[in-house]
Amino acid sequence: MIILVMGVSGSGKTTIGQLLAESLHWEFQDADSFHSLENIEKMRHGIALNDLDRMPWLLAIQQAIAQWLQANQNVVLACSALKASYRQSLVLDSDRIKLVYLKGSFDLIQKRLQERQNHFMTEKLLNSQFDVLEEPSDAIFVDVSAVPDVIVENLRKALGI
């Protein structure tokens, strides 16, 4: 099974994804590691990526997901997946890929980004993240204002694992 943890930058994808994977003894992967250096530099300089920029990133993630599914690997994947079209290209098997949406208010997430150190995704891009966000209709919704351990515990219950 693959659990795709999605949301805007600063919603807690990496933190929750890592804790969830650890609690399940599963592999954790962060979609940020699939970005090209060029895309990382754009974001570091406050330049929002467009669909053309994201296409090679999405294709690389899609290939990894296909490999994980073929190998029957259990993986928690942290990935923004902000648009429905992105999620459609990544959810290759809806029975074996579960979508978790980390939802939080703009103010809460902005505060988190202001406090974050050493990450290429800055607070400057938060508006663009919320602008392109298309909330999923087929996901487990998680309020990110709770503490991470509680979120993970609730997620495990919701997922039945």
pTM: 0.88
pLDDT per residue as tens digits for the range 106-130: 999 988 887 765 545 555 667 888 9
**Higher local confidence (pLDDT), 75 or 47:** 75
| Residue 20 confidence (pLDDT) | 98
Query: For the residues 53-60, what does the mean pLDDT come to?
Result: 92
| Residue 116 confidence (pLDDT) | 61
**CB-based contacts of 109: which residues, under 8 Å, 6+ apart?**
8, 9, 10, 11, 126, 144
How confident is residue 62, by pLDDT bands cut at 50, 70 and 90? very high
Per CATH, is 2-145 categorized as 3.40.1190.20?
no
Residue boundaries of the structural domains of the chain: 2-145
Listed residue (87, 72, 77, 75) closest to 136, CA to CA:
87
Query: For the residues 34-59, what does the mean pLDDT come to?
Result: 84
Share of the chain above pLDDT 90, in %: 71
